[in-house]
Amino acid sequence: MIHFTHERYEELVAKIWHHNKLYYLDHAPMISDQEYDVLFKQLEEMEKLHPEWITPESPTVRVNESLSSGFKSVKHQTPMLSLANTYSREEVAEFIKRMHKLTGKEKLFYSCELKMDGIAVSVCYEKGIFKRGVTRGDGKQGDEITVNIKTIESLPLRIYGENIPEFLEVRGEVFMPLKAFYKINQERELLGEDLFANARNASAGSLKLLDAKEVAKRALSIVFYGIADESNLQTNSQSELHHYLNSFGLPTLPEVAKCETLEEIWQFIDQVKALRKTLPFEIDGVVIKLDDLKEQKRLGTTGKNPRYAIAYKFAADDPKAMIKG
């Protein structure tokens, strides 16, 4: 029998998380799928012989339990706000004028980001370890989906990096890649089941399943774009926030632009419109946020929307074309 040491076990856990980051976050894998599978099987063998070594952040601990009843409602410590929508260049221009008036500043920058067409979630880490996942719900409280969101391969169960806060609550979006969406609809069609109208509906339906093993089969993914409590941040810029999250191993989207003028914002919007059909996931617009996080906090909210951000929405696609791809 091979003798495994606990030190070797911890080294293997860290090595697998490193390769997960390279694959899911950096999109630059250093080993083949087969080599990764060999490492993973080694870890499973170690944990079979030494179950006392298994921790909640082990790469193998994805599908380990199911919900016996419905979802527990959890109150958000910081509300999860929805964005006001705009549909024209004129409305974006009005937003910019409003920002100048509210801040009293002549020179302002804006962070422009892809608007994911998925399910907004809040994810908590304590001492770098994944602890909880909650849906947006009504903005004040949502459903705890910890068991289900844990099955998402691109979600790190442990984050690494310097100066990780004791408690970190990050905001992001769960989505179903189009490849997985088309596959699941093909399977449902063969079974005579109703097809999902779009990838967002498929994502929402998957997160509501009571069996985590079934959720794992849906091949969901996740990206992050914000932090609930920004008091401990080491950056004052929304556009830099993505790099901050990235430094911990959290997946983010690279398509971010820091713009100053309406013309620059609209140029980014046009670029995203051209890029949209080539993306492996669905987006439904561009989010425009005041880049200065201190100004964001100062401006606050109005009703259920933040004053410092808007969403420019694209025209909806043909739903029938989306169903089968």
Catalytic residue numbers?
A: 115
Smallest CA-to-CA distance from 148 within 208, 107, 219 is with: 208
Cross-strand pairs, 309: 289
Separation CA 76–CA 86 (nearest Å): 27
Smallest CA-to-CA distance from 322 within 186, 182, 209, 116 is with: 182
Smallest CA-to-CA distance from 24 within 278, 249, 255 is with: 249
Task: Name residue, tokens 């199911």.
Answer: 66
Separation CA 62–CA 10 (nearest Å): 18
Q: What is the dihedral of CA 14, 16, 21, 23, to 10 degrees?
A: 170
302, with CB counted inside 10 A (0-12, 13-18, 19+), is exposed
Task: Name residue, tokens 């890649």.
Answer: 177
Is the Cβ–Cβ distance between 51 and 44 less than 8 Å? no
- What stretch of H or E contains 259? strand 256-259
Task: Name residue, tokens 């993505």.
Answer: 242
CA dist list (Å): 183 to 157, 178, 199, 282 = 27, 8, 11, 15
β-strand pairing of 129-135 with 141-143: unpaired
> Both tokens of residue 226?
């914000």
Q: For helices 178-190 and 199-207, give the axis angle rounded to 10 degrees.
A: 80
